[in-house]
């Protein structure tokens, strides 16, 4: 088990790396995160030529006989919430980083961007139960605690229950927020995804390891499922086996992408073997283009 100086060193390294990216790359991209969010109803007024017809308040219009439009104002504070899977399968990595470390880094990138804009950031850790909830707050110390918990929290659960996480998020977030659902999505999503996506701006962050996509040819390999405890031996030199493994992974990816699409959820896929910044920037720019279309 790592001691306190080692923990602080790793958290500090993530802070330095992500703050640099926030200042140099994400500074102009962050606000594209928010999809019609951070805007609150204030009042109604009479329609004026040039007003957006989508803001017409038809209830007031039908009651008064005159066209009225809704007026809105932008909230000063917005909320980001990271819902992070901490089941044992996230403590895996063959490319120099664990999957949990990748999630900690992308959370740090977005969280430091958020506090620069005076937005609040919260954290929910889950496995087959809710493991930890940190209510949304501001401040660099709060962000560093979030990173530390994602990296080093020791869960009690041994598997992933997305329904439990969805129910907790709906219960703990009374107002609309931007929620990052972070996992390797090895478990079954179930039926609560679409409901959560209607209540909040939901973004799925999927992390995978290269060895989970293309099985390396390494001869006979002993394997252990960290969540079920099952173990065995596999001959990875078999080309047929590697092809079947890769095809199964592609099918899993396809089904996951379909589930996100049907629920109106944006998705970001990250790898333990690649930089997290380019795909994150690509997602933010995609959302910016949709907002301006």
Domain positions in the chain are 4-29+77-292, 39-74
Q: What integer pLDDT is reported at residue 83 of this predicted model?
A: 98
As given in the structure block, the two tokens for residue 190 are: 């179930």
pLDDT digits (tens, 9 = 90+) for 171-218: 999 999 999 999 999 888 988 999 999 999 999 999 999 999 999 999
Residue 40: per-residue pLDDT: 56
Q: What DSSP designation does 200 have?
A: S
pLDDT (tens digit, 9 = 90+) per residue, 57-73?
888 888 898 888 887 65
pLDDT digits (tens, 9 = 90+) for 133-144: 999 999 999 999
260/11: higher pLDDT: 260
Cα 43 to chain center, whole Å? 34
What is the chain's mean pLDDT, rounded?
A: 89
Smallest CA-to-CA distance from 90 within 205, 170, 194 is with: 205
- Sign of the dihedral through C-alpha 61, 63, 64, 69: negative
Can you list the positions of beta strands (E) in 87-128?
120-126
Q: Is the pLDDT of residue 28 over 80?
A: no
- The CA radius of gyration of the chain, in Å to the nearest whole number, is 22
CATH superfamily of 4-29+77-292: von Willebrand factor, type A domain (3.40.50.410)
Phi, psi of 269, rounded to the nearest 5 degrees? -110, 125
């Amino acid at each position: 088990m790592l001691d306190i100086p080692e923990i602080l060193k790793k958290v500090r390294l993530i802070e330095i790396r992500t703050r640099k990216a926030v200042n140099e790359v994400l500074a102009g991209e962050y606000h594209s995160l928010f999809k019609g969010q951070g805007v609150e109803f204030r009042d109604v007024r009479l329609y004026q030529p040039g007003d957006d017809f989508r803001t017409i308040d038809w209830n007031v219009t039908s009651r008064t006989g005159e066209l009225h439009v809704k007026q809105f104002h932008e909230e000063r504070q917005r909320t980001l919430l990271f819902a992070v899977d901490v089941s044992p399968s996230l403590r895996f990595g063959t490319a120099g980083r664990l999957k949990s470390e990748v999630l900690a880094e992308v959370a740090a990138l977005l969280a430091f961007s958020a506090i620069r804009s005076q937005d609040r950031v919260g954290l929910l850790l889950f496995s087959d139960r809710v493991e930890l909830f940190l209510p949304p707050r501001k401040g660099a110390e709060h962000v560093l605690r979030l990173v530390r918990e994602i990296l080093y929290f020791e869960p009690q659960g041994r598997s992933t229950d997305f329904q439990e996480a969805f129910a907790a998020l709906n219960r703990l977030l009374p107002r609309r927020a931007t929620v990052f659902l972070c996992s390797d999505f090895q478990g079954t999503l179930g039926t609560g995804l679409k409901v959560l996506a209607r209540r909040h701006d939901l973004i799925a962050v999927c992390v995978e390891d290269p060895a989970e996509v293309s099985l390396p040819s390494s001869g006979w390999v002993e394997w252990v499922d960290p969540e079920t405890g099952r173990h065995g031996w596999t001959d990875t030199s078999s080309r047929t086996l590697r092809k079947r493994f890769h095809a199964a992974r592609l099918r899993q990816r396809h089904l996951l992408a379909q589930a996100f699409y049907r629920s109106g959820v944006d998705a970001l896929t990250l790898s333990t073997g690649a930089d997290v910044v380019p795909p994150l920037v690509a997602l933010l720019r995609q959302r910016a283009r949709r907002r301006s279309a």
